[in-house]
């Protein structure tokens, strides 16, 4: 369409990736197809950001292993990459802060292509000054499954202002599973309904419910997980003896980081 501007999009997926599966990678392909099919967007990059160890999720193995498995899984992609910033933070980082970090990095890289020696505070000032202008043709969207969308409704899992920042300021691409109804969930939430035009629902018609939980269970039981994970990831898991009955009990008695932070709850 003449005179129609295309918005460049970077897709960001946050999560445990414990381990990364073929479905995680497939989500990026589905999201790119959906967005570009609208004629409004050009997806230029995908970023996978594994959560840090401080998240304290049950069965969460060390970030160094999850990072390396994700790196191996993305080797075959020419546009999806892994980023270690979130996973290397000593404390759990809220997703809104991770989104903010990557958006600022994105703006900085766009603005400073020819300016390698930019001083940090000046870069930050330019980011703030040019924020509104740059959003017209450059956007970061959070990519997630329906389970993450529905977790917005779990008490003390998310701050309402964080949801508003992620969905209202940046946007969300949600890949649906066969047993989920994200449209109903959006309809029932006043906050999500307010920003519904920034939520892109992508239906996966080729039903694929690969779950990292089910993968870990199969690995604990010595069952094959081939064709559920990239072969390189399977080899890494075997080489390092990951995902045992012992590792699944890690953090079993620990309160999840968001619940600790937002309710003041402590581990038993």
CATH number at residue 223: 3.40.50.620
In a domain, 241, yes or no: yes
173-202 burial code (b ≥16 CB/10 A, e <16): bbbbbeebebeebbeebebbeebeebbbbb
Range in 13-27, 117-131, 250-264 the model is least confident about: 117-131
Task: Note the pLDDT of residue 110.
Answer: 81
pLDDT digits (tens, 9 = 90+) for 126-141: 545 444 444 568 999 9
Q: At 63, is the pLDDT very low, low, confident or very high (cuts 50, 70, 90)? A: very high
Report the alpha-carbon distance of residue 45 to residue 59 in Å, rounded.
30
Residue 131 lies in a domain: no
Domain membership of residue 85 as a residue range: 7-111+136-264
Q: How confident is the model at residue 256, as a pLDDT?
A: 87
**Average pLDDT of the residues of the chain:** 88
User: Does 240 map to a domain?
Assistant: yes
- The answer to whether the beta carbons of residues 51 and 257 sit under 8 Å apart is no
* Residue of higher predicted confidence among 251 and 114: 251
Q: What is the pLDDT of residue 132?
A: 43
Q: Is the predicted pLDDT of residue 22 greater than 50, yes or no?
A: yes
Phi, psi of 256 (to 5 degrees): -55, 140
Q: What would the pLDDT profile of 147-167 be if each residue is shown by its tens digit?
A: 899 899 888 899 999 999 999
For the purposes of burial, counting CB atoms within 10 Å of the CB of 149, is it exposed (0-12), middle (13-18) or buried (19 or more)? buried
> Edge-to-edge, what's the strand order for the sheet holding 138-145?
80-82, 41-50, 7-15, 138-145, 172-176, 199-203
Considering the domain boundaries, does residue 124 fall inside one?
no
**Predicted pLDDT at 170:** 97
DSSP state of 58: T
List the beta bridge partners of residue 11. Answer: 46, 141
| pLDDT tens digits, 101-110 | 999 999 988 8
d(CA 41, CA 138): 9
At 135, list the tokens: 């959003």
Sole residue written with tokens 């899992």:
157
What secondary structure does DSSP assign to 25-45, as a single string?
Answer: HHHHHHHHHHHHHTTSEEEEE
Where are the extended beta strands (E) located within 89-232?
138-145, 172-176, 199-203
Tokens of 167: 């969905």
At 58 the pLDDT is: 94
pLDDT band of residue 263 (cuts 50, 70, 90) is confident
- Strand (E) positions, the chain? 7-15, 41-50, 80-82, 138-145, 172-176, 199-203
225: pLDDT strictly greater than 50: yes
Domain count along the chain: 1
181, part of any domain? yes
Coil, strand or helix at 227: coil
Q: Report if residue 122 sits inside a domain.
A: no
pTM for the whole structure? 0.88
Report if residue 127 sits inside a domain.
no
Are residues 195 and 165 in contact, defined by beta-carbon separation less than 8 angstroms? Answer: no
- Residue 2 counted as domain residue: no
175, 206 contact by CB (below 8 A): no
pLDDT classification of 69: cutoffs 50, 70, 90: very high
pLDDT of residue 131: 45
């Amino acid at each position: 369409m003449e005179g129609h501007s295309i918005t460049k999009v970077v897709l960001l997926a946050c999560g445990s990736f414990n381990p990364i599966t073929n479905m995680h990678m497939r989500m990026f392909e589905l999201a790119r197809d959906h967005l570009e099919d609208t004629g409004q967007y050009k997806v230029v990059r995908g970023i996978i950001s594994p959560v840090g160890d401080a998240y304290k999720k049950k069965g969460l193995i060390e970030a160094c292993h999850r990072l390396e498995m994700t790196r191996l899984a993305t080797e075959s992609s020419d546009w999806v990459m892994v980023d270690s910033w979130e996973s290397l933070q000593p404390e759990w980082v809220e997703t809104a802060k991770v989104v903010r970090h990557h958006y600022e990095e994105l703006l900085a890289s766009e603005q400073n292509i020819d300016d390698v020696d930019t001083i940090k505070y000046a870069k930050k000032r330019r980011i703030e000054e040019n924020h509104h202008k740059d959003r017209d043709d450059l956007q970061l969207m959070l990519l997630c499954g329906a389970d993450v969308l529905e977790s917005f409704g779990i008490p003390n899992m998310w701050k309402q202002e964080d949801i508003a920042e992620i969905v209202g300021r940046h946007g969300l691409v949600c890949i649906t599973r066969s047993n989920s109804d994200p449209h109903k969930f959006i309809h029932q939430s006043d906050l999500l309904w307010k920003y519904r035009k920034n939520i892109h629902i992508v239906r996966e018609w080729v039903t694929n419910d690969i779950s990292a939980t089910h993968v870990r269970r199969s690995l604990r039981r010595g069952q094959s997980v081939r064709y559920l994970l990239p072969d390189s990831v399977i080899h890494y898991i075997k080489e390092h003896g990951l995902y045992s009955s012992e590792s699944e009990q890690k953090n079993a008695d620990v309160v999840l980081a968001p619940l600790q932070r937002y309710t003041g709850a402590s581990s038993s």
